């Protein structure tokens, strides 16, 4: 029994290492590929290497690599949290897992209805991926949510789901929706449909990126202000940016932690509302009843 306990404990330790190791690898890559610079440096995702392709070369960027590292870390976290689950919770880990599941399912049922109860894992994955991607900046990594290509990919995936559920009422019903309330509004309705993934992507990307830029600018300004006001102090004291102590950490709590988690929650909420809001439930039930009636009629005719 003791050896089994030690074996399980060893697996837990390995999973914890697997959670941390991707971020360590990301920091090592950043150190190796980032050239030394002076002053303020605000750049996009660094290109690590490029894969030759027939039509256009595929650059492998810092944002793409960090996004994969975050996925690996989330995968290890899920394995760690779901190990040894029992019918009746007897560990803090299982209590935490059940609390997360209950909260996500409650959020989905409240905003999407019981018909979309199966979306709980998808929504949980969106929140975890977005939040952890934004929080990776606390470890000095380039946050994937600061790259429009990454966030646009998420928005396109959500848009495909939105369109899929809108088509549940039939393609004619879907196309007819562009002509409402009057036919003249069709071009605007089409633009509004296209604007959904665009607005979701740019809202998330813009808020995360702007927070990172503001934090860097304020930190650099405090360094200059400290040099001007406190440069007269003797010896090494005059070279220490004393005004940078404290305030950047407070800003990081807002821009990196609160704002990053808030944007993840907003993206998840927009996903739920757009999918459930576009689903024509009444029309879907009518089509379902008609299909069922046809099947029953066919069975009667066969017999």
Q: What's the average model confidence in pLDDT over 150-175?
A: 92
Residue 146 shares a structural domain with residue 70: no
Residue 73 shares a structural domain with residue 197: no
> In this structure, is residue 222 part of a structural domain?
yes
φ/ψ (deg, to 5) at 39: 75, -160
On the question of pLDDT at 132 being above 90, the answer is: yes
**Share above pLDDT 70 across residues of the chain, in percent, rounded to a whole number:** 84
Which is higher by pLDDT, 176 or 247? 176
Residue 128 shares a structural domain with residue 65: no
On the question of pLDDT at 191 being above 90, the answer is: yes
On the question of pLDDT at 252 being above 90, the answer is: no
On the question of pLDDT at 8 being above 70, the answer is: no
For the purposes of burial, counting CB atoms within 10 Å of the CB of 48, is it exposed (0-12), middle (13-18) or buried (19 or more)? Answer: middle
pLDDT tens for 256-284 read 788 888 999 999 999 999 999 889 888 88
Share the mean pLDDT of the chain.
Answer: 84
The residue among 83, 109, 144 that closes a domain is 83
Residue 273 shares a structural domain with residue 150: yes
288, two tokens: 């379902």
φ/ψ (deg, to 5) at 182: -135, 160
Rounded to 5°, angle at Cα 14 from 121 and 128: 25
> In this structure, is residue 107 part of a structural domain?
yes
Residue 235 shares a structural domain with residue 101: yes
Residue 113 shares a structural domain with residue 26: no
Q: What's the average model confidence in pLDDT over 94-119?
A: 92
pLDDT tens for 43-63 read 678 888 899 988 888 889 999
> In this structure, is residue 88 part of a structural domain?
no
Q: Looking at the 3D structure of the chain, how many domains does it have?
A: 2
d(CA 113, CA 275): 11
Residue 239 shares a structural domain with residue 288: yes
Residue 74 shares a structural domain with residue 101: no
Residue 103 shares a structural domain with residue 75: no
Residue 110 shares a structural domain with residue 62: no
> In this structure, is residue 91 part of a structural domain?
no
d(CA 171, CA 280): 12
Identify whether the C-beta of residue 129 lies closer than 8 Å to the C-beta of residue 19. Answer: no
d(CA 170, CA 176): 10
d(CA 227, CA 223): 6
On the question of pLDDT at 33 being above 60, the answer is: yes
> In this structure, is residue 155 part of a structural domain?
yes
Residue 132 shares a structural domain with residue 54: no
Residue 16 shares a structural domain with residue 159: no
pTM above 0.75, yes or no: yes
Q: How confident is the model at residue 144 (pLDDT cuts 50, 70, 90)?
A: very high
> In this structure, is residue 90 part of a structural domain?
no
- What's the domain range around 51? 1-32+46-83
**Share above pLDDT 90 across residues of the chain, in percent, rounded to a whole number:** 38
Torsion of Cα atoms, 52 then 53 then 55 then 57, to 10°: -40
């Amino acid at each position: 029994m003791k050896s089994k306990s030690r074996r399980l404990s060893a697996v837990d330790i390995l999973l914890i290492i697997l959670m941390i190791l991707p971020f360590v690898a990301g920091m090592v890559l950043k150190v190796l590929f980032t050239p030394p610079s002076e002053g303020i440096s605000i750049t996009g995702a660094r290109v690590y290497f490029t894969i030759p392709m027939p039509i256009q070369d595929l650059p492998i960027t810092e944002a793409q690599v960090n996004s994969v590292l975050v996925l690996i870390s989330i995968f290890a976290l899920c394995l760690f949290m779901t190990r040894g689950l029992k019918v009746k919770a007897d560990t803090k880990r299982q209590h935490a897992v059940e609390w997360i599941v209950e909260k996500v399912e409650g959020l989905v049922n409240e905003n999407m209805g019981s018909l979309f109860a199966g979306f709980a894992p998808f929504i949980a994955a969106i929140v975890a991926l977005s939040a952890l991607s934004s929080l990776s900046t606390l470890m000095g990594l380039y946050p994937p949510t600061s790259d429009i290509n990454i966030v646009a990919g998420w928005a396109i995936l959500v848009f495909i789901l939105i369109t899929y559920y809108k088509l549940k009422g039939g393609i004619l019903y879907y196309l007819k929706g562009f002509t409402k309330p009057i036919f003249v509004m069709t071009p605007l309705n089409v633009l509004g449909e296209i604007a959904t993934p665009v607005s979701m992507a740019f809202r998330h990307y813009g808020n995360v990126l702007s927070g990172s830029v503001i934090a860097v600018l304020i930190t650099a300004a405090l360094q200059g202000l400290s040099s001007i006001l406190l440069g007269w102090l003797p010896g090494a004291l005059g070279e220490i940016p004393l005004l940078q102590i404290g305030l950047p950490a407070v800003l990081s709590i807002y821009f990196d932690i609160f704002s990053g988690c808030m944007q993840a929650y907003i993206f998840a909420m927009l996903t739920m509302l757009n999918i459930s809001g576009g689903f024509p439930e009444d029309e879907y039930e009518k089509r379902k009843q008609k299909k069922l009636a046809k099947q029953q009629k066919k069975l009667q005719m066969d017999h």
